[in-house]
């Protein structure tokens, strides 16, 4: 891939409605496929909105009937809103097309950006996105924070529903419980060799929005933000140029390599935005 053109669509009071951004993605996608424009990454904030990827189950949606926009990306349900940096890289992938490699590049760029901002993050096997690791389960009770005398998740209860279990189990409180928590979600679609959708990085949002859903369909972990984890005020304005720089570096390193026989399946999971 060559140089990536970054387009800042709107932030703060100029946050971009999801449907309008989706239409712009489709327009840019068609232009990129036709080689009318270079690889382009749209960067923006959205007003509050829930979006559901193709694998979202009914049991993961808001219980109160809050509207959800169903989209054509991979993955499950997630939330977008103020304080979250959303990026839609619309790129012509190297041949042969390797969707998983593209997801890993997005993760790598965000991991590097978080490190520059002072936060160590990582990947978790089988779960796309960028994560802050929690403590091992056997150590959590001794670390303080929320006290959960009978945690239904520790017994492997597949029916556990954080939406019904009260604030002590809410995804937004995962840090207090010293659990794994997702800082950035990745969800993509590839059509005609060109990517759509992308990532959402929680900078300083109100993460209690995630408590209305089962974020990315994951019931045994939660969500985080840069501001929470760093313990200081962090703004999208501060993070934006850092993310742009690392995206440009990582995406420029992409080269066409043959897919290995043992490579992962080409359908990444969501918010897992492949937000969720």
Positions marked catalytic = 216
Give the C-alpha separation, 188 to 91, whole Å: 11
Is 77 one of the annotated binding-site residues? Answer: yes
- The answer on whether 231 is annotated among ligand-binding residues is no
As a whole number of angstroms, the distance between CA 265 and CA 244 comes to: 28
Q: Is 80 annotated as a binding residue?
A: yes
Was 102 annotated as part of a binding site? no
CA 228, CA 231: separation in Å to the nearest integer?
5
Number of H helices, E strands in the chain: 4, 11
**3-state DSSP assignment of residue 16:** coil
186 marked among binding-site residues: yes
Q: Is 142 annotated as a binding residue?
A: no
Cα(15)–Cα(81) distance, rounded to whole angstroms?
Answer: 9
| Spatial contact of 102 and 265, defined as CB atoms under 8 Å apart | no
| Tokens of residue 123, six digits | 């990947």
Is 50 among the annotated ligand-binding positions?
A: no
Cα 90–54–42 angle (5° rounding)?
20
**CA-closest candidate to residue 82, choices 200, 180, 196, 186:** 200
Q: Does the annotation list 200 as a binding residue?
A: yes
State how far the Cα of 34 lies from the Cα of 39, in Å rounded to an integer: 11
Residue 234: is it exposed, middle or buried by C-beta count within 10 angstroms (0-12/13-18/19+)? buried
Residue 220 neighbours by CB distance under 10 Å: 17
Token pair of 155 as six digits: 């017994």
Q: Per the annotation, does 198 bind a ligand?
A: yes
Residue whose entry in the numeric block shows the structure tokens 């007003």 = 47
185 marked among binding-site residues: yes
CB 181 within 8 A of CB 213: no
- Residues at the binding site are 73-80, 185-187, 198-200
- Residues at the binding site for substrate are 73-80, 185-187, 198-200
């Amino acid at each position: 891939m060559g140089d990536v053109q970054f387009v800042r669509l709107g932030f703060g009071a100029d946050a971009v409605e999801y449907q309008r951004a989706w239409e712009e993605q489709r327009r840019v996608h068609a232009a990129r496929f036709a080689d009318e424009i270079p690889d382009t990454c749209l960067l923006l904030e959205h007003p509050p909105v829930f979006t559901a990827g193709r694998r979202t189950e009914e049991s993961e949606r808001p219980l109160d009937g809050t509207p959800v926009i169903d989209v054509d990306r991979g993955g499950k349900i997630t939330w977008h809103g103020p304080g979250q940096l959303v990026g839609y890289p619309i790129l012509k992938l190297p041949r042969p097309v390797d969707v998983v490699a593209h997801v890993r590049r997005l993760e790598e760029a965000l991991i590097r950006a978080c490190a520059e901002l002072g936060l160590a993050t990582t990947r978790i096997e089988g779960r796309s996105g960028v994560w802050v690791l929690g403590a091992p389960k056997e150590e959590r009770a001794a670390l303080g924070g929320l006290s959960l005398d009978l945690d239904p998740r520790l017994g492997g209860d597949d029916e556990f529903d954080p939406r019904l279990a009260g604030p002590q189990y809410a995804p937004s409180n995962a840090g207090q419980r010293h659990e794994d928590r997702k800082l950035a979600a990745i969800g993509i679609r590839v059509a005609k060799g060109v990517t759509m959708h992308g990532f959402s990085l929680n900078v300083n949002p109100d993460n209690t929005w995630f408590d209305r859903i089962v974020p990315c369909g994951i019931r045994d972990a939660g969500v985080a933000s840069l501001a929470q984890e760093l313990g200081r005020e962090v703004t999208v304005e501060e993070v934006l140029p850092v993310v742009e720089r690392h995206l440009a570096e990582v995406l420029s390193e992409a080269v066409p390599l043959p897919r290995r026989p043992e490579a992962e399946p080409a359908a990444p999971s969501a918010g897992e935005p492949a937000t969720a």
